[in-house]
Chain A
Amino acid sequence: MAAHPANPTWRARMKWLMNNPLSKLLEYSFAHGVHPQEHKAGTMALSMQRMPFSSRYLVPVNQHLGAPSKPVVKVGDPVLRGQVIAEPGAFISTCLHSPVTGRVHAIDNRRYPGGMFSLSITIESDPYDTQRIPEHPRDWRHLTADQFVAEIQQAGIVGLGGAAFPSHVKYSIPEGQHIDHLLVNGAECEPYLTSDHRLMVERPDALLKGIEILLHNLGAKSATIGVETNKPDAIATLREHIGSDSQRIRVVPLRVKYPQGAEKMLIKSIFKQEVPAGGLPRDLGIIVNNVGSVVAIADWFERSMPLIERVVTVAGDGVAKPANLIVPVGTPLREVLRFCEGMQSDISQIVMGGPMMGTSVVSLDVPVLKGTSGILAFRKLQRTDSREYPCIRCGRCLEACPYFLNPSRLARLAKARLFAEMQSYSVGDCVECGSCTYSCPSGIPIVQLIRLAKSQLRQSGDTRE
């Protein structure tokens, strides 16, 4: 019953207060960071859509962090959708599964989004197959810790936020440590991307199921889902589905700010605690997981569906039909862009991932990876003036850096090739979020310089990372 506007009830007054001036105070956030334009309006209301199967898939064996997987199929072998085609090469590595029923066409070096080449398994899909695979629930209530870790590795689940770090490594808790909280990352702070947003709105049940599985197997007491306030429908949907369980699982509104979704920032915003330099969230008893990874866990235990597809936002001014697509991992970029009519002739840049941390791709033959959260095609270069001007010492990068580093000093040291000295300025703590480069009025490629230094330090082997 709506109250008359001239005579609002107390409830309506409180609601107005909560939604307007007070809501800002209730948001969780961290110091520093930047506010890039969101550009999410074009895709945030579009339902997830399944992309039709393409004729060929490319699965690179090193699409996750850690050791590359070892192929276990031979050229010419028939494969089923969801069948294991590569096994983990080490503990920090994971299984790869065929995204489609078909035949192994080739196992050779192919280009992958980093611009480099990697051993890849090419699979030709069988056009007459229904691509349906048997679904059966798996037991998750009676697993030992080791069995649970093995299950996650078997499912090929990696962090779907972009870094593609194998999830099972996070879940193998060393002796003596205890996990109290599960933090589910639904911040999605990168501009343009709406894939996590749609997942939260459309599959809240799967998300909550995944949380339940994780809470049970990690022995954690409570879970927190952090969602930026630019996704009010996601917050409302999740709260509605959590219902009476809100003691155990809560949804926390986060201020719209970049990089809110960075693991360490999320912990700082919500728990007001800092992960020590060189440490991991689990040192604080917290495990952080992306929304997509949690849903993938639910899919594995409920339907035996390994990580063979993910939600990808296709957007940017070069795409005629922006979409949130469910794309099988390994789909060539060309096919995705063709489906979204993003193959205009005047496209000048295609980015995989978000615009802040994603990488420009140099070829359309590269496949969608497990860590690809978005595909953005731009007509004109986003940075119009690519020239670099001298540092004017305005200090904007210092105000932007969420880790309180001194990016301008780091950039200057990198230019002077004083890489060893950069370590005393904690270059190893930089997560390359790009806030400094974004805020630099002189167009200095600070993050690239820092990455250059890290690469050099890794090579000379004296990094403290």
Chain B
Amino acid sequence: MNNILVAPAIMTGLGVLFSVILAVAYRLLRVEEDPRVEETETLLPGSNCGACGEPGCHAFAEKLVQGSLKPSQCTVATSETIDAVAELLDVDPGAQERRIARLRCAGGKAQAYQIAEYLGFENCRAAAVVSGGGKGCAWGCLGLGDCRVACDFHAIEMNSNGLPAVSPERCTACGDCVEACPRNLFQLVPVSQRLFVQCSTPLRSDAALALCRVACDACGRCASDAAPGLIRMVENLPLIDYSAGGPARPDATYRCPTGAIQWLEGAQFNDPVGPNKQHQSHYAHSH
């Protein structure tokens, strides 16, 4: 027998053997998946952001088909998409209030006192581990844009005041910024909840005002002006509990001496002059 034919013969034989094994495995070991899962997944935004609490869009689609989650729990999808998914699966879309990330700090460069010059790596968390950057306030926004980098939806821009401005249109409440902020300043709140405290300092009166012009000095006027039970003072900060008290109205903010509590309309820190271009290029360079 011609020696040169042995190798091709063996290889062909192996190929046939493995193809038979694969064909058998395909029949016998097949995992039946509901075809609706794939259909649902194609409808979903596919951002795999995790805001629904599932590891990704595929897992979310599986849960939808099982019926343990509601389509509206996807915070990224538009209402049309949610309706389309609900129609496909013939389920109730569910009512989910749209939420948005809001910053519990309003102490930008113009409001919070700067007490030192920070020369280290331009990153909030890096600044937080060394003396907390240059701002006197140990609880406020560091302004170096970790949230901006973390946001997959480009919903956060640093404004010229050094604060992250969240675009209400783009924000999907995925929670990446909440995790990225070393000071834990972002909070996901329903868009309709307009009464918001833009400060996180546990200090009170002069000690708080020594750090920032718009700090909450814990005077408690908002709590007494709001509907009974709506606002409580907890650790020198007003805590707004929408479920406990009466309706929220802008009245609560009228007597605030510093403007720490705000009645927000739309975006939180709209920049009158637009995003700082110089800042932007700087971040693009360092990341």
Q: Number of B residues whose C-beta is below 8 Å from A?
A: 22
- CB pair B182–A117 under 8 Å, yes or no, is no
Q: How far is the CA of A381 from the CA of B120 in the complex (A)?
A: 13
Answer whether residue B132 sits at the interface, using C-beta atoms and an 8 A cutoff: yes
Contacts A445-B121, A452-B123; A362 near B203 (Cβ below 8 A): no
CB contacts (< 8 Å) of B130 on chain A: these are 115, 359-360, 448, 451
CB contacts (< 8 Å) of B129 on chain A: these are 448, 451-452, 455
B10 → chain A, closest Cβ, in Å?
Answer: 40
Answer whether residue B119 sits at the interface, using C-beta atoms and an 8 A cutoff: yes
- CB pair A362–B116 under 8 Å, yes or no, is yes
B residues 89-128 near A (Cβ < 8 Å) are 115-116, 119-121, 123, 125-126, 128
Contacts A116-B132, A117-B138, A361-B131; A455 near B182 (Cβ below 8 A): yes
Contacts A109-B207, A115-B138, A362-B116; A452 near B132 (Cβ below 8 A): no
- CB pair A452–B131 under 8 Å, yes or no, is no
Q: Which residue of B lies closest to A360 (CB)?
A: B131
Answer whether residue A76 sits at the interface, using C-beta atoms and an 8 A cutoff: no
- CB pair B121–A449 under 8 Å, yes or no, is yes
- CB pair A362–B132 under 8 Å, yes or no, is yes
Answer whether residue A246 sits at the interface, using C-beta atoms and an 8 A cutoff: no
Answer whether residue B134 sits at the interface, using C-beta atoms and an 8 A cutoff: yes
Q: Name A362's contact: one of B131, B207, B287 (CB within 8 Å).
A: B131
Answer whether residue A111 sits at the interface, using C-beta atoms and an 8 A cutoff: yes
- CB pair A445–B120 under 8 Å, yes or no, is yes
Contacts A448-B129, A448-B130, A449-B126; A109 near B203 (Cβ below 8 A): yes
CB contacts (< 8 Å) of A115 on chain B: these are 130-133, 138
Q: How far is the CA of A445 from the CA of B127 in the complex (A)?
A: 12
Q: Number of A residues whose C-beta is below 8 Å from B?
A: 24
Q: How far is the CA of A383 from the CA of B119 in the complex (A)?
A: 10
Answer whether residue B202 sits at the interface, using C-beta atoms and an 8 A cutoff: yes
A residues 83-111 near B (Cβ < 8 Å) are 108-109, 111
- CB pair B125–A456 under 8 Å, yes or no, is yes
A residues 438-465 near B (Cβ < 8 Å) are 445, 448-449, 451-452, 455-456
Answer whether residue A386 sits at the interface, using C-beta atoms and an 8 A cutoff: yes
- CB pair B138–A455 under 8 Å, yes or no, is no
Q: Which residue of B lies closest to A454 (CB)?
A: B129
- CB pair B134–A362 under 8 Å, yes or no, is yes
Answer whether residue B136 sits at the interface, using C-beta atoms and an 8 A cutoff: yes
Residue interface bits A302-345, CB-to-B below 8 A is 1, else 0: 00000000000000000000000000000000000000000000
- CB pair B138–A111 under 8 Å, yes or no, is yes
- CB pair A455–B136 under 8 Å, yes or no, is no
CB contacts (< 8 Å) of A360 on chain B: these are 116, 130-131
A residues 408-457 near B (Cβ < 8 Å) are 415, 445, 448-449, 451-452, 455-456
- CB pair A452–B136 under 8 Å, yes or no, is no
Q: How far is the CA of A362 from the CA of B128 in the complex (A)?
A: 13
Contacts A115-B132, A360-B131, A362-B131; A452 near B121 (Cβ below 8 A): yes
Q: How far is the CA of A424 from the CA of B138 in the complex (A)?
A: 33
Answer whether residue A47 sits at the interface, using C-beta atoms and an 8 A cutoff: no
B243 → chain A, closest Cβ, in Å?
Answer: 29
B20 → chain A, closest Cβ, in Å?
Answer: 41
B130 → chain A, closest Cβ, in Å?
Answer: 6
Q: How far is the CA of A381 from the CA of B134 in the complex (A)?
A: 16
Q: How far is the CA of A89 from the CA of B125 in the complex (A)?
A: 28
Q: How far is the CA of A187 from the CA of B248 in the complex (A)?
A: 64
CB contacts (< 8 Å) of B182 on chain A: these are 455
CB contacts (< 8 Å) of A363 on chain B: these are 115, 136
Q: How far is the CA of A279 from the CA of B81 in the complex (A)?
A: 54
CB contacts (< 8 Å) of A359 on chain B: these are 130-131
CB contacts (< 8 Å) of A456 on chain B: these are 125
B146 → chain A, closest Cβ, in Å?
Answer: 10
CB contacts (< 8 Å) of B136 on chain A: these are 362-363
Q: Which residue of A lies closest to B149 (CB)?
A: A417
Answer whether residue A114 sits at the interface, using C-beta atoms and an 8 A cutoff: yes
Q: How far is the CA of A362 from the CA of B115 in the complex (A)?
A: 6
B259 → chain A, closest Cβ, in Å?
Answer: 22
B157 → chain A, closest Cβ, in Å?
Answer: 20
Residue interface bits A105-135, CB-to-B below 8 A is 1, else 0: 0001101001111000000000000000000
- CB pair A455–B128 under 8 Å, yes or no, is yes
- CB pair A108–B207 under 8 Å, yes or no, is yes
- CB pair B131–A109 under 8 Å, yes or no, is no
B286 → chain A, closest Cβ, in Å?
Answer: 8
Q: Which residue of B lies closest to A455 (CB)?
A: B129
CB contacts (< 8 Å) of B132 on chain A: these are 114-116, 362
B152 → chain A, closest Cβ, in Å?
Answer: 13
Q: How far is the CA of A386 from the CA of B122 in the complex (A)?
A: 12
CB contacts (< 8 Å) of B121 on chain A: these are 388, 445, 448-449, 452
Residue interface bits A356-367, CB-to-B below 8 A is 1, else 0: 000111110000
Q: Which residue of B lies closest to A111 (CB)?
A: B138
Q: Name A448's contact: one of B116, B120, B134 (CB within 8 Å).
A: B120
Q: How far is the CA of A292 from the CA of B126 in the complex (A)?
A: 31
B residues 212-251 near A (Cβ < 8 Å) are none
CB contacts (< 8 Å) of B128 on chain A: these are 455
Q: Which residue of A lies closest to B123 (CB)?
A: A452
CB contacts (< 8 Å) of A383 on chain B: these are 119
- CB pair A386–B119 under 8 Å, yes or no, is yes
A to B CB contacts below 8 Å, 7 in the list: A109-B207, A117-B203, A445-B126, A451-B126, A451-B129, A452-B129, A456-B125
- Residues of B at under 8 Å CB distance from A? 115-116, 119-121, 123, 125-126, 128-134, 136, 138, 182, 202-203, 207, 287
The 7 closest A-B pairs by CB, nearest first: A115-B131, A115-B132, A362-B116, A452-B126, A386-B119, A116-B138, A451-B129
Known: A360-B131, A448-B121, A451-B129. 6 other contacts (CB 8 A): A114-B132, A115-B132, A116-B138, A388-B121, A448-B126, A451-B130
- Residues of A at under 8 Å CB distance from B? 108-109, 111, 114-117, 359-363, 381, 383, 386, 388, 415, 445, 448-449, 451-452, 455-456
